[in-house]
């Protein structure tokens, strides 16, 4: 484990989150209140998406998908330290392996209790984790949990976890998924409808009211294990998928915290002195081309679209040029950074040649870009459509659907192009789930033997030099086969009013509400 920890310190510490620190100012984040945290107050928070349920197995632990809410209701077992990249334990006290990641012992703080009085013990964690693989529970992390072969309660504070194969980096899978959130088995057994009315966790807040499509009202949990946290008395959580609206509510005083996926909004807020936080993730957002069917079962169609799209122009149109482009899969701070392996090259002449070649064979490129009404997603699709309209022998239709229906398409694969993402701190497990042939979350449908083997080896290896070579192979195969066009680094962002302190993230931009405080 020592070498793994050392590697994490190098790879993740260099890509630490930029934070507005509690009681002070984070690097490049503007000014927040000084002094010690102040107890009390109500925070008005704008999230990006409304949950369909409060069952933690079905929530998403990413800044853009209910991470704030999950952390509020259920707390965390562990987090990654934004400065060192190492695991910091919260409700857990350890997650140790002595056999290279084949077996782990999760240890918990003694005397943890859910708000219904039942114990948050090893049996409760087992009950929650054992629910993930069941398709009926609708977890987007089912595949992450599927590497677990069995769980065994050793004693009330120790859960032994046996893996199907060594997964030495599995703690980071927990941190970046809703496996980090444990709910009361007794409450879950009452059924999802009853649980949504009264979700029971051991987090810093409890649910007072959920008025769907309006507000989720949370109140301080006086039994929270980490007193004197939380500092806030209440949180009122509302949903807006419009980044401009979120920005406007913050600068006008209508909200105290916003979760944001827009580079332009975060940049403008930072320049105006508002505390901001962005998780410096590798990879990014991409246009996923469905290789399972025409036209993208032909590699020439994928290469033509990739060569035709000008990601700089997309950045200007959508983010006013403030976005960070993913010129390479890994940032320069990563040991896997390969400056000689650019993800794509804008080459209109090559694009037109390939479009003409396909048309001459009776296979003109025609596809539908399926997206949602969320401002950035719709604008992206329309901008891609506009760029490609400048070429001959290609036709693009934009189809707007509900976000829930879009999520379903990721598993039914009934689409041509849709927006996807592969963003991560450590490449494992997100690159595996995004591009391995056996992954149900492999949106593009790529299934390449060389790529699969590299991803499998990267999953099990703890040797830094070996992993550098492995992920070079991964980058080479993704560039060669072009299953997706990476167009922007993911901005896992949040911003607060100037009187708010304690803006802290872990994982994929997961904000920790117990750390927030307000100077009234």
Give, as one character, the DSSP assignment of residue 440: T
Q: pLDDT of 456-477, one tens digit each?
A: 999 888 888 999 999 999 999 9
Please give the average per-residue pLDDT across 212-226, as a whole number: 96
Report the percent of the chain where pLDDT is more than 90: 75
The residue ranking higher by pLDDT, 140 or 499, is 499
Q: What is the pLDDT of residue 443?
A: 94
pLDDT surpasses 80 at 20: no
Backbone angles phi and psi of 484, in degrees to 5: -155, 155
pLDDT of residue 282: 93
- Cα within 13 Å of Cα(430), Cβ side: 23
Q: What is the crossing angle of helices 263-271 and 311-319, to 10°?
A: 60
| pLDDT attached to residue 220 | 98
Q: Is the pLDDT of residue 420 over 60?
A: yes
Q: How far apart are CA 114 and CA 120, in angstroms?
A: 6
Q: How far apart are alpha carbons 451 and 469 in whole angstroms?
A: 12
Q: What are phi and psi of 27, to 5 degrees?
A: -60, 120
Q: Are 202 and 118 in contact (CB under 8 A)?
A: no
Q: pLDDT band at 6, cuts 50/70/90? A: very low
pLDDT (tens digit per residue) in 60-115:
998 888 999 999 999 999 999 877 778 999 999 999 999 999 999 999 999 999 99
Task: State the sign of the Cα–Cα–Cα–Cα dihedral 284, 418, 145, 189.
Answer: positive
| 156-209 tens-digit pLDDT | 999 999 999 999 989 999 999 999 999 999 999 999 999 999 999 999 999 999
Per-residue pLDDT, 16: 30
- Residues whose CB falls within 8 Å of the CB of residue 38, separated by 6 or more in sequence, listed in order: 231, 501, 517, 518, 519, 520
Residue 261: the pLDDT is: 84
Q: Which two tokens stand for residue 362?
A: 């009776």
pLDDT digits (tens, 9 = 90+) for 403-415: 778 878 888 999 9
Q: Is the peptide bond before 417 cis (omega within 30 degrees of 0)?
A: no
pLDDT at 291: 98
**Average pLDDT of the chain?**
90
Task: Quick: pLDDT tens for 226-285.
Answer: 999 999 999 999 998 777 888 899 999 999 999 988 888 898 999 999 999 988 889 999
Q: What local confidence, expressed as pLDDT, does residue 4 receive?
A: 33
Which residue has better confidence, 211 or 376? Answer: 211
Work out the pLDDT band at 31, boundaries 50, 70, 90.
low
């Amino acid at each position: 484990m020592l070498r793994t920890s050392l590697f994490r310190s190098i790879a993740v510490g260099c890509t630490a989150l930029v934070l507005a620190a509690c009681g002070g100012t984070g690097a490049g984040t503007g000014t927040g209140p000084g002094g010690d945290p102040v107890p009390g107050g109500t925070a008005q928070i704008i999230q990006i998406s409304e949950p369909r349920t409060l069952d933690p197995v079905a929530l998403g632990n990413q800044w853009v998908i209910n991470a704030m809410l999950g952390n509020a209701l259920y707390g965390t077992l562990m987090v990654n330290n934004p400065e060192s990249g190492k695991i910091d334990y919260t409700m857990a006290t350890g997650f140790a392996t002595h056999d290279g990641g084949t077996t782990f012992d999760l240890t918990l703080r003694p005397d943890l209790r859910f708000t219904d009085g039942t114990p948050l013990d090893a049996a409760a964690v087992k009950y929650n984790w054992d629910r993930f693989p069941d398709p009926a529970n609708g977890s987007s992390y089912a595949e992450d949990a599927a590497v677990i072969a069995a769980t065994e309660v050793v004693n009330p504070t120790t859960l032994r976890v046996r893996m199907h194969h060594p997964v030495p980096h599995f703690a980071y899978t927990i941190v970046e998924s809703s496996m980090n959130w444990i709910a009361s088995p007794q409450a879950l057994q009452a059924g999802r409808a009853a649980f949504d009315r009264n979700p029971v966790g051991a987090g810093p807040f409890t649910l007072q009211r959920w008025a769907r499509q309006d507000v989720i009202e949370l109140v301080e949990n006086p039994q929270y294990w980490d007193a004197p946290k939380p500092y806030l008395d209440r949180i009122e959580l509302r949903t807006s998928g419009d980044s401009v609206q979120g920005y406007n509510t913050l600068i006008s005083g209508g909200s105290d915290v916003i979760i944001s996926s827009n580079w332009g909004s975060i940049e403008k807020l930072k320049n105006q002195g508002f505390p901001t936080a962005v998780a410096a993730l590798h990879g990014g957002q991409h246009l996923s081309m469905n290789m399972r069917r025409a036209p993208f079962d032909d590699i020439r169609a994928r290469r033509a679209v990739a060569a035709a799209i000008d990601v700089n122009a997309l950045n200007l149109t959508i983010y006013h040029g403030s976005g960070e482009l993913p010129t390479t899969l890994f940032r320069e701070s990563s040991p896997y950074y390969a400056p000689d392996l650019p993800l794509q090259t804008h080459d209109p002449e090559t694009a037109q040649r390939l479009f003409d070649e396909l048309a001459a064979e009776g296979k003109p490129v025609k596809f539908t870009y399926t997206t949602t009404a969320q401002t950035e997603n719709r604008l992206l699709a329309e901008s891609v459509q506009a760029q490609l309209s400048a070429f001959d022998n290609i036709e693009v239709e934009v189809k707007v659907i509900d976000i829930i229906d879009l999520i379903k398409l990721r598993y039914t694969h009934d689409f041509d192009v849709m927006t996807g993402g592969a963003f991560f701190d450590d490449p494992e497990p997100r690159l595996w789930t995004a591009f391995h042939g056996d992954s149900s979350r492999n949106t593009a449908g790529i299934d390449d033997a060389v790529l699969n083997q590299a991803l499998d080896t990267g999953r099990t290896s703890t040797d830094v030099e070996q992993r550098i070579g492995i992920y070079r192979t991964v980058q080479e195969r993704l560039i060669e086969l072009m299953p997706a066009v990476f167009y922007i680094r993911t901005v896992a962002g949040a911003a607060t009013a100037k009187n708010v302190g304690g803006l802290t993230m872990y994982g994929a931009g997961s904000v920790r509400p117990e750390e927030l405080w307000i100077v009234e």
